[in-house]
Amino acid sequence: MIHPLPSSCEHAILEQFLKAEAMALWAVRSAQAQDVPPGVLQFLRRHEEEEAQHLKQFELLLGTKSHGKTALPRVPDQWRVLAVHLYGYETLGLEFARLLVGLRPDLTSIMEDEEVHVGFFEQEVRAILSRGGLAAEGARQAAQAWRRRLPRTVDRYLHDESLAPFRDELRQHILGVIDARFLASGLLVSSQKQESSVVMPVGEESGAYSVSESNG
């Protein structure tokens, strides 16, 4: 359990959440162009509307505009892989939403939206795994690859100097919570968690949702 951050961290968390919401919006738009189940497509459309509202809210709070994209980010074209990526980044977004609400209780509705998003994609991931076979194996391979990149993503989101005194504890907590979710859902097993928990140095990465593999 992480204690609430001091008010000096509020601006940094708001800035990172703005970037995360912008990335989520672009990814959700891109995902709608893929071959996804009909029920998922309907959810993604509603999800896009919610993310757009969140983005405007954060832009107003910070008095800035998020950078637009001329092209949507590339996302996996196989649903079993795409579902894992969306689930992973929603779980990451939820942990930052919890940090945000610790500083700004008036933004609790955003955290509640994130909980709905995580719950939806967790259900989809469990459905894929329950079918077994190549689909389940592809989802687990995608989860392992995504988890290996996660420490660098977390480091990038925690780079602000105001977060320096809390960075190690926050990183450990966020990675631990996501590992627990992946373990509970069946995407990872304990040995894979231990092997992938080493914190990697910050590296250049094009964006949270920009992925090149489409393994399955």
DSSP secondary structure string, 7-51? GGGHHHHHHHHHHHHHHHHHHHHHHTTS---HHHHHHHHHHHHHH
Q: Give the single-character DSSP code of 208.
A: T
Cα–chain-centroid distance for residue 109?
18
- The model's pTM is 0.85
Q: What parts of the chain have a pLDDT lower than 70? A: 1, 67-70, 191-216
> What local confidence, expressed as pLDDT, does residue 6 receive?
94
Spell out the domains of the chain, with CATH numbers in brackets. 7-65+75-196 (1.20.1260)
pLDDT tens string 45-55:
999 999 888 88
Helices of type H across the chain: 10-31, 38-62, 79-103, 108-131, 133-157, 167-185, 190-196
